[in-house]
């Protein structure tokens, strides 16, 4: 059965943000959720992401605290900044924008974030609990959580289905694979050393593309009717446009859209969901910290 269906990530994300906004309004007697964003240096892409996150906070009623630091900052000084935020009771979530400059050890910085404030969910304890049966992390990484939320809101069944994840990074591929496993999918994890990628993808009812390779996954790799979640966000030259580039996914959308049962567009698919899930995580953390009873949630 190949109902062709576009997964409108932007629309779904907007709806979720709307839900979160009422939730934040409804908890005002307890306090205001606070998110700290930390940006080291001035990479234009990182600045864009941070701006979008701060804007989303403003839209839903989360107070944001932005810390901008020069890319010459030492690791120790950055650790101090993180510790200050750990102690700030107004801050319920801390997001350190990656990548960090090369002279700073990313692992040390991420591990210094207090587990209760690790809204990105990148701390090894969180990843460990995400992976383990019978354990639950305090936070689930945002992009992976967004992928699952898209499947759920489209009523795409996960349990017992064959899922293939192309990519195994700590922030996307690996955690999304672990989430699919917790939801009882049969999960295959592929990566740059995979020798028979087209055949692997072909068997999947659910494809998560997160390899950062523009349009690599072709239409004829996809099982007819499969659900395709394209996390990839790659900019390719587009001399005909004003900006000179445009964004494409890891899936060849034009080819895939006539084969897949469901597919996300790029842009407008996973990107907006990532931000919505960050807001979700931040409000969840704030509720725990402020002691908002579960019954007060929407």
The dihedral over CA atoms of 160, 134, 152, 189, expressed in degrees to the nearest 10, equals -60
Q: What is the largest CA-CA distance in the chain?
A: 57
Residue 61's binding partner out of a copy of itself, ligand NDP, none, with CB under 5 to 8 Å set by partner kind: none
Angle at CA 155, nearest 5°, toward 10 and 197? 80
Alpha helices (H) along the chain: 9-26, 44-60, 75-87, 106-112, 124-131, 142-153, 173-182, 197-202, 253-256, 270-290
Nearer to ligand NDP, 64 or 274 (CB): 274
- Residue 284 bears catalytic tag: no
The reply to whether 159 sits near ligand NDP by the rule CB under 6 A is: no
Residue showing tokens 């019954």: 295
The reply to whether 9 sits near ligand NDP by the rule CB under 6 A is: no
| Shortest spacing between CB 163 and a copy of itself, in angstroms | 10
Residue 189, H or E segment: strand 186-190
Nearer to a copy of itself, 167 or 269 (CB): 167
- In 3D space, the residue among 162, 181, 149 whose CA is nearest the CA of residue 273 turns out to be 149
| Annotated active-site residue in 55, 83, 84, 97 | 97
Residue 124's binding partner out of a copy of itself, ligand NDP, none, with CB under 5 to 8 Å set by partner kind: a copy of itself
| Shortest spacing between CB 209 and ligand NDP, in angstroms | 8
Contact between 117 and 93 (Cβ < 8 Å) = yes
| Shortest spacing between CB 170 and a copy of itself, in angstroms | 5
Contact between 37 and 50 (Cβ < 8 Å) = yes
Nearer to ligand NDP, 121 or 292 (CB): 121
The reply to whether 119 sits near ligand NDP by the rule CB under 6 A is: no
| Shortest spacing between CB 271 and ligand NDP, in angstroms | 4
Considering only residues 259 through 278, tell me which ones interact with ligand NDP, judged by CB under 6 A: 270-271, 274
- Residue 53 bears catalytic tag: yes
Residue showing tokens 């990148």: 122
Interface residues with a copy of itself (CB under 8 A) are 107, 123-129, 131-135, 159-162, 168-170, 174, 178, 181, 184, 186-191, 193-196, 200
Q: How far is CA 294 from CA 93, 280, 285, in A?
A: 19, 14, 12
Nearer to ligand NDP, 27 or 208 (CB): 208
Helix (H, G, I), strand (E, B) or coil at 63: strand
| Shortest spacing between CB 150 and a copy of itself, in angstroms | 21
Strand order in the sheet with 93-96: 63-69, 34-40, 93-96
| Spatial separation of the C-alpha atoms in residues 72 and 89, rounded to whole Å | 28
> Judged by CB under 6 A, which of 17, 67, 111, 197 binds ligand NDP?
197
> Judged by CB under 6 A, which of 101, 157, 212, 219 binds ligand NDP?
212
Both tokens of residue 96? 């350190």
Both tokens of residue 251? 């899936």
Neighbours of 1 (CB within 10 A): 5
| Spatial separation of the C-alpha atoms in residues 49 and 45, rounded to whole Å | 6
Nearer to a copy of itself, 115 or 290 (CB): 115
Q: Which residue stretch of 24-32, 148-156, 163-171, 288-296 sits at the interface with ligand NDP (rule: CB under 6 A)?
A: 163-171
Nearer to ligand NDP, 210 or 292 (CB): 210
| Annotated active-site residue in 118, 120, 205, 284 | 120
Task: Cite the active site residues.
Answer: 53, 97, 120
């Amino acid at each position: 059965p190949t109902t062709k269906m576009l997964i409108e990530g932007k629309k779904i994300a907007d709806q979720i943000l709307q839900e979160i906004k009422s939730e934040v309004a409804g908890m005002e007697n307890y306090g205001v959720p606070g998110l700290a964003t930390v940006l080291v240096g001035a990479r234009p892409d990182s600045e864009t992401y941070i701006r979008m996150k701060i804007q989303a906070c403003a839209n839903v009623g989360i107070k944001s605290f932005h810390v901008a630091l020069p890319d010459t900052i030492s690791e120790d000084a950055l650790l101090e900044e993180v510790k200050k935020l750990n102690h700030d009771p107004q801050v319920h979530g801390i997001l350190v924008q990656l990548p960090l400059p090369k002279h700073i050890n990313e692992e040390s910085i991420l591990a210094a974030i207090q587990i209760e404030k690790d809204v990105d969910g990148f701390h090894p304890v969180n990843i460990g609990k995400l992976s383990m049966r019978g354990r639950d992390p305090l936070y689930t990484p945002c992009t992976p959580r967004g992928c699952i939320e898209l499947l759920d809101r489209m009523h795409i069944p996960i349990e017992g289905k064959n899922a293939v994840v192309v990519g195994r990074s700590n922030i996307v591929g690996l955690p999304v694979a672990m989430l699919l496993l917790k939801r009882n999918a049969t999960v295959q994890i592929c990566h740059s050393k995979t020798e028979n990628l087209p055949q692997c993808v072909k068997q999947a009812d659910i494809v998560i593309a997160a390899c950062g390779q523009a349009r690599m996954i072709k239409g004829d790799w996809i099982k007819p009717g499969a659900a395709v979640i394209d996390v990839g966000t790659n900019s390719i030259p587009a001399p005909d446009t004003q900006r000179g580039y445009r964004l494409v996914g890891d899936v060849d959308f034009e080819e895939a859209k006539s084969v897949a049962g469901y597919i996300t567009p790029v842009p407008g698919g996973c990107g907006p969901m990532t931000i919505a899930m960050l807001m979700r995580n931040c409000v969840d953390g704030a509720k725990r910290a402020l002691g908002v009873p579960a019954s007060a949630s929407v």
